[in-house]
Chains A and B, each alone.
Chain A
Amino acid sequence: MADNVQTLTARLAADPTSLAFLPLGEHLRRVGQLDAALAVATSGLARYPHLADAHDLLGRIRSDQGDGDAAFDAWTTALRLQPDHAGAHKGLAYLAFRNEDLPRALRHLEMAAHLEPEDPSLAQAVERTRAQVAGRSTPTGGAPLEPPLDDTMPGTILVDLDGRRLAGSLHTPDGSEVSDGLAALLAGVSQEASRVARLLDLGSWECLSTEGPDAAMHLLPPTPDTLLLAVGEAGAPPGRLPLVARRAARHAQQWLERLG
């Protein structure tokens, strides 16, 4: 394989647009050179941001690095780009197993087995998981439905595109509940943000933030069907709230994924 690595590296050097980064990154991952694998994968992704295979590779590397959140992001991105990507389904099944979420693991395994019927190990995994799910099922079985925002992310709400609150809550400093009134306005804000970006040839909108004398706000779409608003203290470092919001968005994505 060392020869192959040299060949792939040389091919990439000669033609940076080559897809050789995919087998090269995978080889580096398999031999445990995770930092090098990550560098190869991210470089390839910069050239091919819409290639599901590249996100799948990133997911495997991040998973090996123990960063489940980043792996989840990579594999869900791969599925958004290519819903029938077997590798991404396998990756998400693995993450679900690790989180002991067997119903979700089974859903992804069944998809992977459907997409790769020639792989007997997948069919066996589906059978084993089905048996485990059947053994664990209860009258209210299935994915946990408690959203993660209330306990771990104060000052955030998740809403649907009709402006209805799905999770979280927001209060003014005097304790008044403002969640639903604010949620109702966010759908319009999102539509306007989308319109601004599209008509000014800026592509799709990614986030919207404001700073004010009382608070800062950061709005982003965790999924195409939802919006997450994080509200933080006025005067906090301007880069902090976006980080909190992105973390909350990952929680929200995982929660929505579990809901199916």
Chain B
Amino acid sequence: MSIEESALAAIADVPGVQGALLVAVEDGLVVAEMVREGFKSAAAAALSASLWGRMRRAALAGGQRPPRFLQLEAEHGAVLVVPVDEVVLAVAVTTERTHRGVLRLRLLDLGGKGAE
């Protein structure tokens, strides 16, 4: 199993996760993925990267450095994003039953590895 695959597996293993992705920050394309059947990988990647970009700009406008974690909560699930490094994001898309605390920690752990 490659480094990317083992990193994604740690996220995808959390119950309720529909898809775990590595996404290029600049163009929102999928770099690597571990997803359930029928999951919209391309859309999730593009949309997550776009949302990340907007919140990053908002943080900068607020006089802050860029965020290291983003979570969108919706009626039937959530999208969680961390920057692995300057060019790649890790993204998890979940259903409403997911344990958010565990997922947050695993993503933040993955985010930290990009800076090592």
Contacts and interface: CB of A to CB of B under 8 A. Distances in A.
Nearest to B39: A200
A203 B75 contact: yes
B111 to A, nearest CB: 10
A174 B63 CA distance: 9
Given A178-B62, A196-B79, A203-B77, 10 more contacts: A181-B61, A181-B62, A182-B58, A197-B72, A199-B43, A202-B74, A202-B78, A209-B73, A214-B65, A215-B64
Given A206-B75, A238-B104, A199 B47 contact: yes
Nearest to B47: A196
Contact of A203 (B54, B67, B76): B76
B106 interface: no
Main secondary structure of the interface of B (DSSP, over half): mixed
A70 interface: no
Interface in B61-116: 61-79, 93, 104
B30 to A, nearest CB: 14
Contacts of B65: 212-214
Interface of A: 170, 172-174, 176, 178, 181-182, 184-186, 188-189, 192-193, 195-197, 199-215, 217, 231, 238
A182 B61 contact: yes
A201 B36 CA distance: 14
Nearest to B94: A202
A195 B47 contact: yes
Given A193-B72, A200-B44, A215-B64, A210 B59 contact: yes
B47 A204 contact: no
A192 B46 CA distance: 11
Contacts of A202: 74-79, 93
A122 B87 CA distance: 64
Contact of B40 (A181, A189, A193, A200): A200
Looking at chain A's contact residues, is the secondary structure mostly helix, strand, loop, or mixed? mixed
B90 to A, nearest CB: 14
19 contacts: A178-B61, A185-B54, A185-B57, A189-B55, A196-B51, A196-B79, A197-B75, A197-B79, A199-B43, A199-B47, A200-B44, A200-B77, A202-B75, A202-B93, A205-B74, A208-B55, A208-B73, A210-B55, A217-B58
A185 B50 contact: no
The 6 closest A-B pairs by CB, nearest first: A203-B75, A172-B63, A202-B74, A210-B67, A197-B74, A212-B67
B62 A182 contact: yes
A202 B2 CA distance: 31
A201 to B, nearest CB: 7
B47 A200 contact: yes
A93 to B, nearest CB: 30
B71 A208 contact: yes
Given A178-B61, A196-B48, A200-B44, A206 B74 contact: yes
